[in-house]
Each structure stands twice: as C-alpha cells, then as structure tokens.
Amino acid sequence: MLTVKRMKQADRAYVMPRVKSFYQSDAVTHAVPEKILQRSFEQAVSNNPLIEGCMLYQGDKHAGYAYLTHMYATEAGSCVMIEELFIEPELRGQGLGHAFFDWLFSAYPDAARFRLEVTPENSRAAALYKRMGFEPLTYCQMIRE
C-alpha cells in the first residue's frame, strides 16, 4: 500500500540523492545545475503554493518522492503538473506508480488537467502514463532562461 505525505526539510537527506539520480537517468535530457536542484527542494518544502513535495511510503519504508506544481491554463483551467516522480528502483513494477496516480487524482478532484513530461527513452514510464489515461500533447515547448 502506498502512503503519500507532505515533504519536509527533514527529508532532505533522503530526497536529494534521489533527485540527483533522477537527473542522471533517462527521464531527463539535459543537465540541471546543483543549485537549481537545491532551490527546488527548498521551494517544495516551503509554503510556496505553486510547488509541493510529496514523500512516498510503502508501509513505513521510503518508496520515493514527487514534485508537483500548480498552474492555470486558459484552455483547460486548473492544472497539476507532475514535475518529478521517482520510485525506488527495487520497488518499480509493483504498482506504486499506479497507486501514486490514484492518490493524485483523488487528492485533486477539481483539477481540470494533469500534465507531465516524458522522454522517448523513458519508455517504461511512458507506458505507465498511457495506462493511467495520459496521451501525448503535440505542442512544441519553447523556453527562455
């Protein structure tokens, strides 16, 4: 059974090594500076209403973490973006990803849209997302940093 709790400052020692692992995996296509990863954690455990950190547990054992951001899209309404979802490698394939999305959809019943990004190389995650009802959005994203 999966339990999701709000991330706290005390979770740093668990979360940050996994964040670094996430950013060195096939889930990400570009390097992100350490100071940005640290800043994201700080914001996720603050009172910032735009980002929240979630701790995932299987029983009393850490199972992973997630970062969620909240936004509004004019064509949809209130949106929840799954920025990062990390499940411990040895726990993958046991239904925890599915359980996380079940929790997410019930925790945010008023969200008009749930959104996430997935790299083509991360086919296992993409398969889960498709099973959970996600479909490709064919926009080309552009950024300015």
- Beta-carbon contacts of residue 42 (< 8 Å; ≥ 6 apart): none
pLDDT band at 56 (very low <50, low <70, confident <90, very high): very high
**Rounded Cα distance, 22 and 20, in Å:** 5
How far is it, in rounded angstroms, from Cα 133 to Cα 145? Answer: 31
Going from N- to C-terminal start, the domains of the chain cover 2-131
Q: State yes or no: pLDDT of 102 exceeds 90.
A: yes
Asked whether residue 80 carries a pLDDT value surpassing 90, the answer given is yes
What's the CA gap between 135 and 117, in Å, rounded? 11
- Torsion-angle region of 2 (φ positive above 0: left; ψ -120 to 50: alpha; else: beta): beta
Tell me the whole-structure pTM to 2 decimals.
Answer: 0.93
93-97: average pLDDT: 95
pLDDT score of 30: 86
The CATH class, in words, for 2-131 is: alpha beta
Averaged over 30-51, what is the pLDDT? 96
Contact indicator for 50, 69 with CB cutoff of 8 Å = yes
Nearest to 141 by CA among 30, 46, 10: 30
Question: Which residues are paired to 104 by β-bridges?
Answer: none
- Quickly list DSSP for 17-86: HHHHHHTTSTT-SS---HHHHHHHHHHHTTT-TTEEEEEEEETTEEEEEEEEEEEEETTTEEEEEEEEEE
Report the alpha-carbon distance of residue 67 to residue 75 in Å, rounded: 23
